[in-house]
Amino acid sequence: MPQPIIKGTVRILRPSEYEKLREGAEILDNQTRLDALLLTGLRFVEAERLHEHPDWVDGRFVHLPEYAQKKVKRKQRERWIRLSSKGASILPYFFKSKPLPNWKGWTQDLQRWAERAGLDPKG
């Protein structure tokens, strides 16, 4: 098995690793939330807030107002994200899924799913 790709403290998943991680998530809600984060490119806290505000989605765009972000060194007050067709199609299911757990719970879930899938949970 190839070495994990780690940049700083962040793990970069190869497509095959993502598929394994997704299978390790097993439960459809978990897979949906994982897919939504991947396909939208949202940061965790942005995805948490988006889940509470489906009105931020306008067709193939997500509008994140200033208060949706917690990034300290941000240069822009608001952010627009253009979605792929697959990204736009996953969001209705994302809004019907359970809300994301807190950050600690999410990272523990990711580690558990990685181990279940036979991936190195590092990063």
- The encoded tokens of residue 116 equal 């279940």
18 C-beta neighbours (distance < 10 Å), count: 14
What's the mean pLDDT in 16-41? 95
Q: Looking at residue 76, what is its pLDDT?
A: 66
DSSP string, 86-103: HHHHHHHHHHHSPPP--H
pLDDT tens digits for range 76-111 = 678 899 999 999 999 999 999 999 999 999 999 999
Q: Looking at residue 70, what is its pLDDT?
A: 64
pLDDT tens digits for range 35-83 = 999 999 998 989 999 999 999 999 999 999 887 766 556 666 788 999 9
List of E strands, 1-123: 5-7, 10-12, 57-58, 61-64, 79-82
Q: Looking at residue 53, what is its pLDDT?
A: 95
Query: How many whole angstroms separate alpha carbon 38 and alpha carbon 2?
Result: 22
CB 48 within 8 A of CB 103: no
At 116, the pLDDT band (50, 70, 90 cuts) reads very high
Q: Looking at residue 10, what is its pLDDT?
A: 86
CB 40 within 8 A of CB 85: no
